[in-house]
Amino acid sequence: MFTGQIEWKESYKIINSEEYFKVFDKNGNQIYYENSNKFWVKREFDENDNQIYWENSNGKIINNRPKLNSIDEITKRLESQMIQEYKTIENNYPYISLIEFINKKYDEIIKKMNEVGNC
């Protein structure tokens, strides 16, 4: 098993050892942790590095994500996230076109829009 650190320019950092596996976002926030006993924690942060979501393998969830109330809000947020994510991917994988990237995100967009319909 690989142990050590992998870091993508302006993106994620992964640290793997025999005791744990950690993933950090581009701002240094730990977004995933898993230990050798398979206990894991997932976190999400907003654009101001405030933790807005926390979940662990025991089923505990703390969800402070902002509630999206309209399709316009979801569209605007997804557009911003997609552009940022594409810029990160483009730096590491320049052969991926914007069209290919958007096509891969299509299902995620539909899912989010359906969530608004269920509010």
The domain ranges of the chain are 4-63, 71-117
Give the whole-angstrom CA distance, residue 42 versus residue 81. Answer: 19
Instruction: Point out which residues pair with 4 in neighbouring strands.
Output: 16
- Using CA atoms, how far residue 35 sits from 23, 28, 59, 85, 95, in Å, is 12, 19, 16, 27, 35
pLDDT at 66: 79
pLDDT at 119: 44
pLDDT tens for the chain, 119 residues long, are: 455 566 665 678 888 888 998 999 888 999 999 998 989 999 999 889 999 999 999 999 999 987 766 777 777 777 777 777 766 665 666 666 666 666 666 767 777 777 766 54
pTM score, two decimals? 0.55
Instruction: Point out which residues pair with 56 in neighbouring strands.
Output: 41
